[in-house]
Structure 1
Amino acid sequence: MGAVNCYVVRTGRDVVLIDPGWSSEVARTALDRHLVNLGLTYRAIDLILVTHHHYDHFSQAVDLRAQFDIPIAVGHGEQHSLRASLGEGSGYHAQNERLRRWGAVDLAEEAAAYRSTEREGSLPTGLADRWIEEGAIIGGIRALASPGHTRGHITFVLDEPRVAFTGDHLLTHIVSGTGIERVPAEFPVREQLASLRRTARDLEGYALAPAHGWVEPDVADRSVEVIAHHERRIAELREAVHAAGSCTALQIAESRTWTRRSLRFAEVGLLRRVAAISEIGMHLDELVARGELARISSARGFVYRAA
């Protein structure tokens, strides 16, 4: 996911930059070149909109603000994780605690000891100049709250022509992860599904302009596909718990093979293992929220069984 689609939108007198990408020489050189091709300079940009706080969307925005004094606008719900990134809470402590709750105590310890890569550790961060609320019109672009990938994720909607800049809420070639942030929501899968149902209902006929991958003709079609993906995952996990009688998220992860190489769970890299446990745990918790599973606290973390 190294490449990020950055969009330049002119609405009336405003020029808006959406998701300018990584803080890196390669990304900056590419952006410089494309702005020249459009006949624009950075001084012509009135505002930077960022769909969510992840470094690959936000960090170059911080650089551009520092150099050209361009204001940054981000969803209000991103405050939790952005503030955490600035202080002693800059690690993923809440995520690590969830790993323990899902039965992956050793993995939580390994993740807690993990240090960001040199690249990520040196990337700039900060707070937004404007925190966007649902329904706001910023630079002629409408803000549609789409939490799930992160708590404050925003889809930016242009009504003429009909285009939705979906960030990582909707991608065209893969299904993006859920609840990937320093301070996650309690039930991020529930939020993700609600957001997907909303974009399926409200953005039919809008072109899908994602942060990664290619543009597709209809947001609603892709939203329906991703909803179906999550529901299949939920059904598979329900069946796994029923078959086992009771189990932890870790036990489900260890019972499967991973990646195209069919590796055992223990053979997969740290970040993939964290992602795997998190996806399983969050979907199990959605089944608990639906009343289809019970969740019992134990010395080895949450144990799930039929309700």
Structure 2
Amino acid sequence: MKVTGVLQQRAWATRELPPVEQVRPGLWSVPVPIPDNPLRYTLVYAVRLARGLALVDAGWAAETSWRSLTDGLAGIGYAVTDVRFVLVTHAHMDHLGLAARIREVSGAAVGMHPAEAATLTLPPGRAESVVGWLTRRGASRADAAEQIERMAGWRAAFEALARPDLLVEHGDRPLPAPAAIRAVWTPGHTPGHLCFVDEERDVMFTGDHVLPRISPNISVPPGGAGDPLGDFLSSLSTVDHAEPGEVLPAHEYRFTGLAARREALLAHHRTRLAEAEAAVRADPGASTWAVAATLSWSRPWSALGPVLRQFAVGETYAHLLHLAALGRVVNQDGPRDAWSAVHGVSTVA
């Protein structure tokens, strides 16, 4: 893998906002800050159309983010009123947040995958369901109840997110000719995550699916189901069919060598699966929470606050569910998770 966004990498290392850059003729990266977040910024990409612009992602809904977006577009000779489309890789706040405001100002159509649109239906009693979900994973009532306060203002922000005007399926070309941008469905990080291939400029917009340095969070959210890690691993194969001239992620910096980065991500998850399976074998009947507390994180488990612990438990649960799908572990029925290894099955290679 080779870093091509050198200025972006330098800004990442110094914890600054990178500059607006022309990536190709008619294609620019516009960094939009994420307030009080270790990811720091979302790289919004502006694509010139025959008339106006299309954006890939929109950025976080905050005034400082809005100013950075509008100033960045002005610096390349455009205004928000010139935006005709917002193609959303996925419906997280740092990607979808400003889409509603952009649409209000410009009339732009917001596009996303149908599976992603389905995640924007908020069930009643969401905060209480998070507490129930965490206690089933093995959290104490006190640990789980910390989430209620955190989610107090979350509903309003969620309900303000833009719902799609345009549903984008795998293989669709959602922009008008002569734009040559094709959607690639890459579920895992979210159910409807999309990457976009610009065939004319030989680049791939990878959203959070493939980042140059960190592994995207693959977790099972409260109320979620299925095998999102299995989906993610399969999706890595989906993007391996072609080697774009440059990879344009939503965070950190641009790079080349998609195949090498894909192999590194696969290796990371093989290691994590083996670690999770070893934890279950060492402590039969352990809850997901207990397994998560033993795994290697970027900081000690005791230093993780409520938000990061919920993410960690969700990611651990995704790995355990994938191990269960592989027939390596089993979760006993009951009010709380109780994981046991399947005897006679070797650990993950």
Q: Report the TM range for the smaller structure's normalisation.
A: 0.7 to 0.9
Aligned residue in 1 for 2:89: 51
Corresponding residue to 2:213 among 173, 196, 205: 173
Aligned residue in 2 for 1:31: 69
Give per-residue Cα distances to partners, 1:14-66, cap 9 Å, x unaligned. 62111120112211111112212211222322211111111111110111111
Aligned residue in 1 for 2:318: 282
Aligned residue in 2 for 1:190: 230
The answer to whether structure 1 residue 224 and structure 2 residue 263 are counterparts is yes
How far apart, in 2, do the equivalents of 1:151 and 1:26 lie? Answer: 29
The answer to whether structure 1 residue 159 and structure 2 residue 195 are counterparts is no
Q: Secondary structure at the match of 1:4?
A: strand
Aligned residue in 1 for 2:291: 252
Deviation at 1:108, TM superposition (A): 6.9
Aligned residue in 2 for 1:99: 134
Give per-residue Cα distances to partners, 1:259-283, cap 9 Å, x unaligned. 44x353xx53101111111111110
Give per-residue Cα distances to partners, 1:188-209, cap 9 Å, x unaligned. 111111111221x223234211
RMSD: 2.5
Deviation at 1:244, TM superposition (A): 2.7
How far apart, in 1, do the equivalents of 2:105 and 2:51 lie? Answer: 22
How far apart, in 2, do the equivalents of 1:288 and 1:114 lie? Answer: 33
Q: Select between 161-170 and 250-259 the one with higher mean Cα deviation.
A: 250-259
Corresponding residue to 1:60 among 74, 86, 98: 98
The answer to whether structure 1 residue 19 and structure 2 residue 54 are counterparts is no
How far apart, in 2, do the equivalents of 1:170 and 1:117 lie? Answer: 32
How far apart, in 2, do the equivalents of 1:278 and 1:296 lie? Answer: 18
Q: Secondary structure at the match of 2:195?
A: strand
Deviation at 1:250, TM superposition (A): 1.9
Give the AA of the match of 2:337: G
Q: Secondary structure at the match of 1:35?
A: helix
Deviation at 1:229, TM superposition (A): 0.7
Deviation at 1:121, TM superposition (A): 4.3
Unaligned runs of 5+ in 2: 1-38, 344-349
CA separation of 1:117/1:160 partners in 2, compared to 1, >3 Å: closer, same or farther? farther
How far apart, in 2, do the equivalents of 1:206 and 1:180 lie? Answer: 33
Q: Select between 62-71 and 179-188 the one with higher mean Cα deviation.
A: 179-188
Unaligned runs of 5+ in 1: none
Q: Secondary structure at the match of 1:148?
A: coil
How far apart, in 2, do the equivalents of 1:33 and 1:246 lie? Answer: 55
Give the AA of the match of 2:135: R
CA separation of 1:120/1:298 partners in 2, compared to 1, >3 Å: closer, same or farther? closer
The answer to whether structure 1 residue 82 and structure 2 residue 158 are counterparts is no
How far apart, in 2, do the equivalents of 1:14 and 1:242 lie? Answer: 58
Aligned residue in 2 for 1:298: 334
The answer to whether structure 1 residue 136 and structure 2 residue 176 are counterparts is no
TM-score calculated relative to the size of structure 1: 0.88
Query: Comparing both structures, which one devotes a greater share of its residues to helix?
Result: 1
